[in-house]
Chains A and B, each alone.
Chain A
Amino acid sequence: MISLAGRDILHTWGKFIFTGFGLGLLIGVTLIMAGVYRGMVDDAKVLMDNSGADLWVVQKDTLGPYAESSSIYDDLWRGISIMTGVARAANVTYLTMQVRHGDRDVRAMVSGIAAGGPGLPGWPPYLVSGRQITRGHYEAVADIATGFRLGDSIQIRRNQFTVVGLTRRMVSSGGDPMIFIPLKDAQEAQFLKDSYAIRQQRRRTAENPAFNRPGVPGLLDAVIASQSVNPFVNAVLVQVENGHRPEDIAQQIRKWKRLTVYTRPQMERILIGKLIATSSKQIGMFLVILAVVSAAIVAFIIYTLTLGKIREIAVLKLIGTTNRTIAFMILQQAVALGGIGFVVGKIAATFSAPFFPKYVLLEPLDSVSGFIAVVLICIISSIIAIRAALKVDPAEAIGG
């Protein structure tokens, strides 16, 4: 027996390729959507991995430092670092902002890292060029995706920083590239007000009789001095010594310091389960819509192709072709169309992924499930056409 579907496809290959191409672009968009979601998850994982932390110590009852704002005193890390089982602990700040470079600005997550050198949690684990920060002020390491180059001068709030090193794939959970600067500078950037605001604050403090007491000289100066330093950071990153369970250490810190502590699995749940939950639902909706649209297109095309063959189908039935053979022929054509579409879509997605502004991660496994979905959709959408074909009366071939 010869393949009727195959012959038909070869006969009308132009129509098939053309339709398959259109369907393919739709499938390509679907694969990209899935890739965007995977990219978001990967951004979150990369953020966790690159921080080098086993535990995140944050303000009590917050989901900080990435999903909610968190603020803790910058001297807490000392107490934590001397606890048994803690290898290293370091302050860290995160601030997403526009960073100025000449006349353009870049959205970036500025991270303040504690003095101490590479290997300390929060520091970029590797550089693609240049060197790590060595001075206590005004040096920066930037992700290559910011577009900055070594030696560039960038402006963060009122201060100028020199880019001394470049990293790759250091991003925030939102996909913004990261810039690392010394902790002190970052604290200043986060909390420092402009001079007008400072003057305002001083005036208010001076007008407050509680601080400005004639009998207590020096009190006003002390209060104002305490207002102009920023003793807060967003989190303390903790590395646990080998042989200790992070969960046990987390439990100790929670108990003694009255802070909230997250382990890696917990942080992963926050980043992926909470922070990008809405986005992933949004993408899920798009995937559903795209699947429905693809199904409608396949169904429509296969139905039209089948209607165009009613007479041939009647003849085939008259000369003894079984319903099964005819149904199988239509099914094969639908699946072939899906196959062409998938190949086109996969190629289109692979080549266009790098051009998307956010990271698009095309997982082979997603392609496999995408292919299975395409095949299933094609099978389901060929049902209408198959029903129409099975209803054709062989008597029609004999005519009136």
Chain B
Amino acid sequence: MAEKGIRIRGLKKRYGSGDTAVDALKKVDMTVTPGEVVGLIGPSGSGKSTLLKCLGAVIEPTGGQMVLGDHIIYDDGWKVKDLRALRRDRIGFVFQAPYLIPFLDVTDNVALPAMLAGSPNSDARKRAMDLLQALDVGHRAKAMPTQLSGGEQQRVSIARGLVNRPPVILADEPTAPLDSERAMAVIRILNNMAQKFETAIIVVTHDEKIIPTFKRIYHIRDGVTYEEKGKGRAFE
């Protein structure tokens, strides 16, 4: 079977060493197929952010294997030289807070990752515009981030995560600041995008409202993952 989506096997992460060492991830196994949105749930301190950081190639795991799309990116050591380019081209990030760049307008915020990847400005903006329209914020394309509502900002930051058509999207509490209607809208968008672009999406969440929407959920406790079949049917 062709390797696509996300595959994690036996991933470990230890912070520090000696007496003060913390085993944040002990044994993480996870598979997300392209087009799938998977929930990651766990109590505080269970290792959710640590897992996203490992997958997002901003901290180095201590062991195990990570495969993104058809690239083995980690196998007891990085297998990719340019982690920055990996992040730019193959991973989309969506944060709890939108973290838009305050001095760029909405279009350029979304277009920036594409520009960084070398697309001409006009192409990048065209793609940004299409995404903004798909996410229902096309009419705010020329606004500055501070002029948007929280929900609009979040949709803009999702558009930014999608602009390079990454095979993987990592979302950390993307619905936390939103009311239930907006939260559901965001989840619907992520599901649509996953299907449209064959993207594998992991959503870290505490949000009771959206948990029922996942078809599959991973629980993480003390750095160990357990898979649970979800009841989500809403977006099939």
Contacts and interface: CB of A to CB of B under 8 A. Distances in A.
Contacts of B115: 1-2
B89 interface: yes
B111 to A, nearest CB: 8
Contacts of A12: 103
A319 B88 contact: yes
B103 A398 contact: no
B103 A320 contact: no
A319 B49 contact: no
Contacts of B117: 320
A371 B95 CA distance: 44
Helix, strand, loop or mixed for chain A's interface? helix
A398 B52 contact: yes
Interface stretch (B26-34, B53-61, B129-137, B221-229): B53-61
Contacts of A322: 84
B46 to A, nearest CB: 12
B36 interface: no
Interface in A277-323: 311-312, 315-322
Interface in B127-161: 144, 160
Band of interface residues on B: 20 to 34
B58 A398 contact: yes
Interface in A299-356: 311-312, 315-322, 325
B112 interface: yes
A102 interface: no
B162 to A, nearest CB: 12
Contacts of A317: 84
A299 B85 CA distance: 31
B84 A320 contact: yes
A319 B87 CA distance: 6
A397 B95 contact: yes
Contacts of A315: 99, 101
Contacts of A398: 49, 52-53, 56, 58, 93, 95, 172
Interface in B102-116: 102-104, 108, 112-113, 115-116
Contact of B116 (A312, A321, A400): A321
A236 B144 CA distance: 78
A395 B59 contact: yes
Nearest to A397: B99
Contacts of B112: 2, 319
Given A1-B116, A11-B103, A318-B93, A394 B121 contact: no
Contacts of A391: none
A198 B58 CA distance: 97
A399 interface: yes
A46 to B, nearest CB: 53
B96 A319 contact: no
A4 B112 CA distance: 10
A43 B52 CA distance: 72
A319 B84 CA distance: 8
Contact of A312 (B96, B101, B172): B101
A393 interface: yes
Contacts of A393: 58
B213 to A, nearest CB: 23
A265 to B, nearest CB: 58
Contacts of A395: 53, 56, 58-59
A342 B102 CA distance: 28
Contact of B99 (A7, A311, A321): A311
Nearest to A9: B103
Nearest to B89: A320
Nearest to B86: A320
B232 to A, nearest CB: 25
B121 A320 contact: no
Contacts of B87: 318-320, 394
Nearest to A316: B101
A186 B88 CA distance: 86
A8 interface: yes
A318 B85 CA distance: 10
Q: Which of B95, B97, B103, B121 has the most CB of A within 10 A?
A: B103
A10 interface: yes
B110 to A, nearest CB: 11
A399 B49 contact: yes
A2 B121 contact: yes
A8 B102 CA distance: 8
A394 B58 contact: yes
16 contacts: A2-B112, A7-B103, A8-B103, A312-B99, A312-B101, A312-B102, A315-B99, A318-B87, A318-B93, A319-B93, A319-B116, A321-B116, A397-B95, A399-B97, A399-B172, A400-B49
Interface of A: 1-2, 4, 7-8, 10-12, 311-312, 315-322, 325, 393-395, 397-400
